[in-house]
Amino acid sequence: MSGFGRSAVSYAMPLAALAVAVAVRASGLSMDEGSLNIKIVVGALSSAIMFTTIFVVLEHAEAVARRVGEPYGTLVLTIAVTAIEVSIIVSMMLHGENNPTLARESVFSTVMITSTGVVGTCLTLGGWRHRKQAIVRQGTSAYLAVLVALTVMTLILPTYTRATDPGTFSAAQLGFVSVLSVLLYSGFLFAQTVRHRDDFIEGQAHGVSIRTAPHESVSASALLLLIGLVGIVMLAEQVAASVEDALVTYQVVQADAIVGALIAGLVLMPEAVSAVRAALNNELQRGLNVAMGSACATIGLTIPAVAAASLLTGRGLTLGLPVADTVLLILALFICNVSFSTERTTFLTGLVHIVVFFTYFFLIFIP
């Protein structure tokens, strides 16, 4: 797609996604209504439109990102994708019976997909094309420090608190940890965009051109980006709900883990594509900013949002991970620490991340 949103398809798809999503809702075929077969068909149609729209929205997001520059540009997708995930998780929490582990599975999947799958793909493909790639060690270390603190506080600590059942926080603990998560992420954003902005920017790679779209084109891209994201949120709800209903009907044991991974995979697709493109263009730091920024934003903003929904609705929320998932999470964070400890990476560094990602993916279906 060329022209950053000027083609007919790039204008039409965000509008089409929103129109289809609204039509499905208005027809009464969404979420709780209709037969299982109809919901599966609606889910398949929603998936096809959503996947197409995701790539169109990515073009608009990149146009806006190029206009505002780094590191602000990477925040465009990060905040937008986090808003999508929060909307989907909250709507799924309120869909049907209480599902206390859905938020945990979605957040855990997001961290694992970004820190092993997306980062691994960036390092492997970028390293294979360019042999060695440079990263800004201060920036990646900051990402990792925030990610470690947030994951341990929200996904591991609940298993060991004693105020309530294992894996859960009391209302006071949940509110306290949520506030700390927001404050930490806010402090990170201030450091990234204002106080220590240079730590997250690498020098422009040789041969990489920067295209700046006209102001009118960027304004149109920003509007279409917003419309497309709203459409994607509504369509993703249809897809996730259809999959959840099918898994429950066929009594699949790992239904929560599969749905959580599906939600994470759907909403992360624009960022994953953007990150891999950056790595292939020898802009590895930008790719890591997108991937690791998504992981930090997911915990720093999604957990407080679902915590607020849980406290307001009275629905249970289980955040503590099982032992096997805890081991995988610690392994992923440790490998990130080793990979980011130097200022250059190779394809071998990425292969280590990908191996852990495949292990995580395999254990979703065969725990």
Each residue's pLDDT expressed in tens, for the chain with a length of 367 residues: 444 434 677 778 888 888 887 887 777 655 555 566 676 677 777 778 877 887 787 778 777 777 776 666 667 767 777 777 777 777 777 666 667 888 899 899 999 999 999 999 999 999 999 988 888 888 888 889 999 999 999 999 999 999 898 899 999 999 999 999 999 999 988 888 888 778 777 654 433 444 445 555 778 888 888 888 788 777 776 776 777 777 777 777 777 888 888 888 877 887 788 889 889 998 888 888 888 888 888 888 888 988 998 888 888 899 999 999 999 999 999 999 999 888 888 899 999 999 999 999 999 988 8
As given in the structure block, the two tokens for residue 10 are: 């790039």
User: What region, left, alpha or beta, does residue 75 occupy, with left being phi > 0 and alpha being psi -120 to 50 degrees?
Assistant: alpha
Q: What are the helix (H) ranges across 69-136?
A: 72-93, 102-112, 119-130
User: Cβ distance 238 to 25 under 8 Å?
Assistant: no
- The pLDDT value given to residue 360: 96
Residue 358, token pair as written in the block: 């495949």
Domain limits, the chain: 8-365
Question: Residue 160, Cα to own-chain centre: how many angstroms?
Answer: 27
User: How much is the pLDDT for 91?
Assistant: 72
Residues 6+ positions from 199 with CB-CB distance below 8 Å: 136, 138, 139, 142, 191, 192
Distance CA 82, CA 296 (A): 10
Name 48's Cβ contacts closer than 8 Å, sequence gap at least 6. Answer: none
Fold of 8-365: A middle domain of Talin 1 (1.20.1420)
Q: What is the pTM of this model?
A: 0.81
Could you identify the residue written with the tokens 């032992």?
A: 323
Say if CB 60 and CB 221 are below 8 A apart: yes
